[in-house]
């Protein structure tokens, strides 16, 4: 699966090469650097191995991730965790899945919004998506990390701004054959999958689908209020996986 994503990333790069999207690329670089420097990557021998590494990882996620049961205790540290959690990922697959979606859809959205506005939009919507999940699961002790609340907001904004953009997708039930659909088909289908998955999700380790839905709704709503009519047809030559990796509950 990772190899498929890597090939998709190369194809996606051809579509946005030369685009003026420094914030998108900086966010990707920061997420990758944080992951490589942290214990989740497993590359730093200073964190140990085996049970020792797992203990360090759990402590790391609890420090920088969102713990709903502790978020509203009044401390400044807890209040900041919905922002810090946006740059922390639980595994290689989690990181690569999120960064692929940000790379494909972030550049065009940033170009439309502008650098400063896109930065505030990304962080603000990501924060609110995690906050909304925490409110709905206020008793959960599971740490929550990942950028896909913010990335889901980017998808929502992209849907409104570029509804007729042609998105090349790899669908598992078609044996990963590349097929092209407009964004107004692909992204609502993705949102529907998140809704169905959220209805079946149980409390505990896994993907926080509710944060995806909140982020997507915030992004679409913001773009519809802030901007006028959507732009004309655009082609996005990319091949994302069916869904991005979500906020992870290690």
pLDDT for 175 beyond 70: no
Tens-place pLDDT, residues 34-46: 999 999 998 988 8
Reading the block at residue 113, the tokens are 């919004």
- Grade residue 247 by pLDDT with cuts at 50, 70 and 90: low
Tens-place pLDDT, residues 189-243: 666 766 666 555 554 445 678 888 899 999 999 999 988 766 555 555 443 443 4
DSSP code for 235: E
Query: Is-contact 134 82, C-beta < 8 A?
Result: yes
Mark whether 20 is an active-site residue. no
Tens-place pLDDT, residues 11-30: 544 444 445 899 999 999 99
Helical ranges in the chain per DSSP H: 2-16, 22-37, 50-64, 68-71, 76-84, 92-113, 115-136, 148-161, 183-200, 209-226
The residue annotated as part of the active site, out of 8, 140, 143, 148, is 148
Mark whether 94 is an active-site residue. no
Tens-place pLDDT, residues 88-126: 999 999 999 899 889 988 999 999 999 999 999 999 999
pLDDT of residue 169: 58
* Between 70 and 247, the higher pLDDT residue: 70
Which of 208, 151, 163, 211 is CA-nearest to residue 188?
163
């Amino acid at each position: 699966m990772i190899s498929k994503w890597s090939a998709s990333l190369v194809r996606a790069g051809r579509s946005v090469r030369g685009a003026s999207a420094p914030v998108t690329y900086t966010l990707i670089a920061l997420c990758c650097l944080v992951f490589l420097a942290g214990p989740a990557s497993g590359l730093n021998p200073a964190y140990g191995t085996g049970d020792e590494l797992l203990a360090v990882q759990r402590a790391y996620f609890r420090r920088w991730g969102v713990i709903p049961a502790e978020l509203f205790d009044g401390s400044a540290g807890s209040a900041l965790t919905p922002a810090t959690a946006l740059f922390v990922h639980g595994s290689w697959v989690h990181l690569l899945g999120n960064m692929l979606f940000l790379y494909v859809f972030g550049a065009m959205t940033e170009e439309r919004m502008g650098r400063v506005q896109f930065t505030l939009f990304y962080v603000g919507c990501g924060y609110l998506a995690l906050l909304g999940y925490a409110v709905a699961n206020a008793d959960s002790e599971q740490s929550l990390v990942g950028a896909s609340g913010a990335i889901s907001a980017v998808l929502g904004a992209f849907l409104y701004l570029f509804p007729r953009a042609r998105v090349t997708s790899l669908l598992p039930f078609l044996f990963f054959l590349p097929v092209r659909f407009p964004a107004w088909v692909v992204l609502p289908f993705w949102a529907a999958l998140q809704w169905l998955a959220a209805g079946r999700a149980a409390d505990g380790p896994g993907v926080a689908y509710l944060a995806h839905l909140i982020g997507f709704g915030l992004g679409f709503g913001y773009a519809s209020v802030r901007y006028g009519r959507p732009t004309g047809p655009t082609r996005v030559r990319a091949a994302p996986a069916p869904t991005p990796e979500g906020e992870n509950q290690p």
